[in-house]
Amino acid sequence: MATAQVKRAFRYRFHPTSEQAAELSRTFGCVRKVYNLALATRTEAWARQERVNYQQTSAMLTAWKKTEELAFLNEVSCVPLQQALRHLQTAFTHFFSKRAQYPRFKSKKKSRRSAEYTASAFRFRDGRLTLAKMTEPLDIVWSRPLPEEAKPSTVTVSQDAAGRWHVSLLCQDSAVQPLPATDTAVGVDVGLDHLLTLSTGEKVANPRHERRDRARLAKAQRSLARKAPGGGTNRRKARQKAAKIYARIADRRRDHLHKLTTRFVRDNQTIVIEDLAVCTMVKNRYLARVISDAAWAEFRRMLEYKAQWYGREVIAVDRFFPSSKRCSACGSVQNTMPLSVRAWTCACGTTHDRDVNAAKNILAVGLTAPVCGAGARPQRSTPGGRSAMKQKPLRREP
């Protein structure tokens, strides 16, 4: 892939003035309103066996602005509203291609507060970003530099549940270039006692980010539960206090995964992983919390887009492959292997660490199955409807 086509989203904190915060809050509300109106219209049309596309909803938006009830839509920039309709069109495209569920309505309290601006709705000069309908540039905390001569194509402004404001600038990054090819490959087995176990024998400890703040989080949630429902000031403050703890946990988890995936992509030409059904696994009420905290799906997502950026390869093996029960020395498969068994000895005399053995088997089947099978079944289904043992990584933005 040509490096000129690599686009990265650079995300920064910023501190809006009271006028800017009010303008952005209005924009968030209008974006949510337009999205929900368009979704309701398309859903009703679908019930009548009719289809409504983006062009038709765009014409509806123009008509909505002329009504007395929705005249307030004219008070904000029209670009984020049009982008909301494009996002809805993308959601329906993914639904019809069976890559996602049916689009859901945006909630005032639970949905992400964000608005996307294209180049016609912002001005970026000399490191100063000014959005449409604003007279002053945003006070951005430039925690890292943008690529040289960067020209953002889109700008996304958002506010998280903790009240923090972020701006994301999508730019082409010519500094992303394929790394020199190597002959190294590694198999990765994910777990809970250890977050990752490599075929080399290395084990990466599970930091258990949520456990570190569990007591503080429980205290904040109890305080929130005691507040009377109805959206009062005290309840809003209690909700934001709990959200700040959640945000701190998520920030630590994301930082740790970025460091791990960058290291794996830098040091290995081929990374072999398991295709785990994480969405199904978190339905286990005994393990849902620790599985969610481990963030296996996010680890794979980061690994895939970074591998594509830097010319590496990620291979996913079938989730039903018996990596733990199979001896990596002789290939024999044990009948049973309870989770309580962490080490075992094969009939051939080889003693295995359960996780290291699984990682070795994952690496072996990932490299050989496309050629000879090696007792492994090809992957049955993957996101996007693809079916293969060897996947090409998806194109992702950070």
Active site residues: 189, 274, 355
Tokens of 212: 């570190």
Give residue for tokens 């199904």: 280
3-state helix, strand, coil in the chain (%, to 5): 40, 20, 40
- Based on DSSP, count helices (H) and strands (E) in the chain, helices before strands: 10, 14
- Three-class secondary structure of residue 123 per DSSP: strand
| 291/350 Cα distance (integer angstroms) | 31
| 106/396 Cα distance (integer angstroms) | 24
243-275 b/e (C-beta count within 10 Å ≥ 16 → b): bbbbbbbbeebeebbeebbeebbeebbbbbbbb
For residue 19, the tally of other CB atoms under 10 A from its CB is 11
End-to-end CA distance of the chain: 17
Amino acid making up residue 216: R
203-206: Cβ within 8 A, 24+ apart? 203/355, 203/356, 204/260, 206/294
| 113/31 Cα distance (integer angstroms) | 9
